[in-house]
Structure 1
Amino acid sequence: METDSLASFQDLLDRWAEAIVANDAPLIGSFAEPDWVMVTPEGGPGKRADFLAAVESGQLSHSEMAFEVLEARVYGDVAVVLAHGTNRGSWRGVPFTADEWVTETFIHRSAGWLCAFSALTPNYAAASAADVDA
């Protein structure tokens, strides 16, 4: 079951990443609960509507996004997924890159798994390794 969960959530996050790179706000939103909250180190908790509005307006865009699912734990209709994520894009015209640990909480609905919460934690170990290599 765990291998099935890993593959299933890897596929889900791969499809969500494709929607994010396409900068398609409605498609991005289709992966999340209406009250989805994303917690980032830069801005703390943010609402789904604000994230999608930033994508729709072009203030936020992504050119790359990838996830590697490390663990997926399913508890009935709730799943917690731990992934390593990397992405590249721009925020208000300023380029950015990110290397993060991503914790996603999904709820199973009739349409499939929808994300309720996302928490992004910077991968400081990768940043430290890059500093050593420089």
Structure 2
Amino acid sequence: MEEQQTLIDFEHDWDEAILTNITAEFEKFVSEDWVIVGTEGGIMPKSAYLQWVGSGDLVHTRMDSGSFRVKIYGDSAVITSKGTSAGTWQGMPFSFLEWSTNVCRKENGRWVCVLTMLTPAKPD
């Protein structure tokens, strides 16, 4: 149960790092080979995501996660949560209610995310 709470804390800390809109803060939470599958079905490598954030094209003003489901398999974990992601994309506002599934692994004693999958969520 303690490791599950560690991963929930990891998710909350990652939300806070995303809100800084500073790429170095975000990078602390992901592996070198991290990718994200967006709500529209495309896959994006870490380098493209960092470029968008670094250029100011993607700015987050809200990131919150809840309704956690955490499953640990040795040095791997799958974390599913529901939350809102909001901000601007190329100056245009966005707000999404989404499910996020993060696949994480332990590297040198700390958790990092290797894959994020986003799925649109229905309001409660």
Q: Provide the TM-score with structure 2 as the length reference.
A: 0.94
Deviation string 1:46-103 (CA, Å, 9 cap, x unpaired) is 0001001100000000011011152111101100001112121000011000100111
1:14 pairs with one of 12, 15, 32: 12
Residue segments in structure 2 that go unaligned for 5+ positions in a row: none
Change (3 A) 1:55 1:111: farther
After superposing on structure 2, the runs of 4+ consecutive aligned residues of structure 1 that deviate more than 6 Å are none
Change (3 A) 1:69 1:8: farther
Tell me how many residue pairs correspond in the alignment.
Answer: 124
Change (3 A) 1:18 1:115: same
> Who is 1:99 aligned against?
97
> Who is 1:52 aligned against?
50
1:78 pairs with one of 76, 79, 84: 76
Counterpart amino acid of residue 31 in structure 1: F
How far 1:41 sits from its partner (Å)? 2.0
Q: Mapping of 1:31-50 within 5 angstroms?
A: 31-42=29-40, 44-50=42-48
Counterpart amino acid of residue 106 in structure 1: C
Deviation string 1:104-133 (CA, Å, 9 cap, x unpaired) is 00010115100000000001x22xx7xxxx
Mean Cα displacement is larger for which, 55-64 or 6-15? Answer: 6-15
Give the match's secondary structure for 1:105.
Answer: strand
The answer to whether the Cα contact below 8 Å between 1:104 and 1:118 also exists between their aligned partners in 2 is: yes
- Matches of 1:97 and 1:73, distance apart in 2: 28
Residue segments in structure 1 that go unaligned for 5+ positions in a row: 130-134
1:66 pairs with one of 64, 67, 75: 64
> Who is 2:24 aligned against?
26
- Matches of 1:81 and 1:105, distance apart in 2: 7
Higher helix share: 1
Share of identical aligned residues, percent?
Answer: 34
